[in-house]
Amino acid sequence: QAFFCLLFCIPWGSSCPPSCQCTERAGAKAVLCSSRHLEEIPKDIPRDVVFLKLDANSITRIPSNAFRHLSHLEEIDLSRNAIEKIDGAAFKGVAAGLRTLDLSGNRIRSIPKEALLALNAKLRLANNPWHCECALQEVLWEARLDPDSVQDITCHTAPREEYVGKPLLQVLDAGVNFCSVRQRTMDVAMFITMFGWFAMVIVYVICYVRHNREDACRRGDYLKPLPSTQAHAE
């Protein structure tokens, strides 16, 4: 009985991932997993964690609901990893209470805007190989970015070569609007599609009229000799 009590009566929140260190800071639980060669976010993080450090690892992806069970979470440090993909629901469940989210120093080129715009947290997105596009522009304008690092959000790739290597904020301040560029591209694509369908209809009508005309000519050629044949018989 004592064994089962020890097994089932210990609260899950008191556990600690084997590769991490669990401590308390000002009465709040902190889980420290820095530089532990982690390739994914640990599954057994205590539910009552407030500060979570996962920096300097080899994490490549933040999947949906990665932190959903951590309702007390206020700070997440994911800097200096190898993150390339962030799912749209990656921070679902912690958006309301999260105060700081550090994603700097990763390999992030693009990010679903719904993953960040629902957050009230201060974001650090510097030193990533960003592809400057509409979604990133919307994040910059609407999310709470750390003012000390916003200048380090640089265009690694962009629709035009002249923007490459420049801070995104500088490009936008110059009057560039990536969202309007995307809208114009969509409008051009729609125009080309509509023109293609219209051309196909015109070609079909021309072929149909020509085919009917040829049938009428063949029918006329067939009927022309009939009266003369009848007159010859009389």
| pLDDT tens digits for range 27-49 | 899 999 999 999 999 989 999 99
- Res. 6 pLDDT band, cuts 50 70 90: very low
Would the CA dihedral through 148, 163, 160, 173 be positive or negative?
positive
* 37, 73, 91, 164 from 124: Cα distances, Å: 22, 17, 15, 20
DSSP one-letter string for 155-176:
EEE-SSGGGTTSBHHHHHHTT-
Q: Are 93 and 68 in contact (CB under 8 A)?
A: yes
72 token code pair: 């007390």
Find residue 217's DSSP bridge partners. Answer: none
The pTM (predicted TM-score) of the whole model is 0.72
Mean pLDDT of the chain: 83
DSSP classification of residue 184: H
* Dist CA 63 CA 209 (whole Å): 58
In degrees, to the nearest 5, what angle opens at C-alpha 140 toward C-alphas 136 and 149?
Answer: 110
**pLDDT at residue 206, as a whole number:** 76
Burial of 1 (0-12, 13-18, 19+ CB in 10 A): exposed
- Res. 2 pLDDT band, cuts 50 70 90: very low
Which of helix, strand or coil describes residue 98?
Answer: coil
